[in-house]
């Protein structure tokens, strides 16, 4: 008899989902909201977190797991911005975070009293869509300096996200990026997307993002 073989990659994903389930249960039980930030490199995930820590750091207890292929630069930036709990994860080549990496960090962190856990994923819109990290929501960032066909090129990532942030809107007059078209295409893929348009540089639009986070942290 030939045993039916489950492809190894499939097994890896099954194991990842199992671990993510454990993480989700733990965070939910503790009333911690967790947001997995995904985007291409350079869309402004770290900038958004810097601004968020700067504005809400005294009101909301936040922790950040900052994933990068190499360097702890982002984590250092977030600590400089006032982040009290910032944990770098250098994947050493891997182009995404997986649940095991997140679980390892959570074992080291003091989760008591934490309101929101941000997970800054590696800048990549492809495979992070396959790896559940146990988060409540994925937050996808696009910026107006990128191509405006991102939703069409990476539909899975938009489908699995709950929130879309359009960043760098202060540059909209200098770019070909059609904000309305991106929103339309993204909503066609995922009608439930909550959308924020903002600029981390000028601060425009950040308040509604902050307000949303405040509400979220009050009613996890």
Binding site for Zn ion (CB under 5 A): 95-96, 127
Nearest distance, CB of residue 90 and Zn ion, angstroms = 14
State the residue for tokens 């968020």. Answer: 52
Is 163 strand, coil or helix?
A: strand
Calpha distance 41→43 (Å, rounded):
6
- Show Cβ contacts of residue 172 under 8 Å, excluding neighbours closer than 6 positions: 144, 179
**Per rule CB under 5 A, count of chain residues that contact Mg ion:** 3
Calpha distance 178→186 (Å, rounded):
12
Given Zn ion, Mg ion, none, residue 46, with its beta carbon under 5 to 8 Å by kind, binds Mg ion
Nearest distance, CB of residue 15 and Zn ion, angstroms = 16
Considering the complex, state which of residue 73 and residue 208 has its C-beta at the smaller distance from Mg ion: 73
Given Mg ion, Zn ion, none, residue 74, with its beta carbon under 5 to 8 Å by kind, binds Mg ion
Instruction: Give the range of 66-74, 104-112, 134-142, 144-152 binding Mg ion by CB under 5 A.
Output: 66-74
Burial of 177 (0-12, 13-18, 19+ CB in 10 A): buried
Is 159 strand, coil or helix?
A: helix
Distances (CA, A) of 23 to 4, 91, 134: 30, 19, 5
Q: Which of 32, 34, 55, 74 lies at the binding interface for Mg ion (CB under 5 A)?
A: 74
How are strands ordered across the β-sheet holding 163-167? 85-90, 62-68, 116-120, 33-39, 137-143, 163-167, 194-197
Nearest distance, CB of residue 175 and Zn ion, angstroms = 28
Cβ-proximal residue to Mg ion, closest one: 46
Given Mg ion, Zn ion, none, residue 127, with its beta carbon under 5 to 8 Å by kind, binds Zn ion
Interaction of residue 132 with Mg ion, rule CB under 5 A: no
- Show Cβ contacts of residue 185 under 8 Å, excluding neighbours closer than 6 positions: 149, 151, 152
Interaction of residue 50 with Mg ion, rule CB under 5 A: no
Nearest distance, CB of residue 66 and Mg ion, angstroms = 7
Interaction of residue 46 with Mg ion, rule CB under 5 A: yes
Nearest distance, CB of residue 220 and Mg ion, angstroms = 25
Given Zn ion, Mg ion, none, residue 168, with its beta carbon under 5 to 8 Å by kind, binds none
Nearest distance, CB of residue 96 and Zn ion, angstroms = 3
Mapping DSSP onto H, E and C, the string for 205-218 reads CHHHHHHHHHHHHH
User: Under the rule (CB under 5 A), what is the footprint of Mg ion?
Assistant: 45-46, 74
């Amino acid at each position: 008899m030939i045993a039916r073989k489950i492809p190894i990659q499939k097994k890896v994903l099954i194991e990842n989902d199992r671990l993510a389930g454990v993480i989700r249960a733990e965070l939910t039980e503790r009333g911690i909201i967790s947001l997995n930030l995904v985007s291409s490199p350079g869309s402004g995930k770290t900038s958004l977190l810097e601004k968020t820590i700067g504005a809400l750091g005294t009101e909301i207890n936040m922790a950040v797991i900052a994933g990068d292929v190499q360097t702890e630069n982002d984590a250092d930036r977030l600590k400089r911005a006032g982040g009290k709990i910032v944990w770098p994860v250098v994947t050493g080549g891997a182009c995404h975070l997986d649940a095991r990496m997140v679980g390892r960090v959570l074992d080291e962190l003091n989760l008591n009293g934490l309101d929101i856990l941000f997970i800054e994923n590696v800048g990549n819109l492809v495979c992070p869509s396959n790896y559940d990290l146990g988060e409540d929501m994925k937050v996808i960032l696009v910026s107006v300096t990128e191509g405006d066909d991102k939703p069409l090129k990476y539909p899975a990532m938009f489908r699995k996200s709950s929130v879309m942030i359009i960043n760098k809107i202060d540059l909209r007059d200098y770019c070909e990026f059609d904000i309305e078209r991106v929103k339309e295409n993204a909503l066609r893929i995922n009608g439930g997307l909550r959308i924020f348009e903002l600029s981390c540089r000028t601060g425009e639009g950040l308040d509604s993002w902050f307000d949303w986070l405040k509400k979220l942290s009050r009613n996890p």
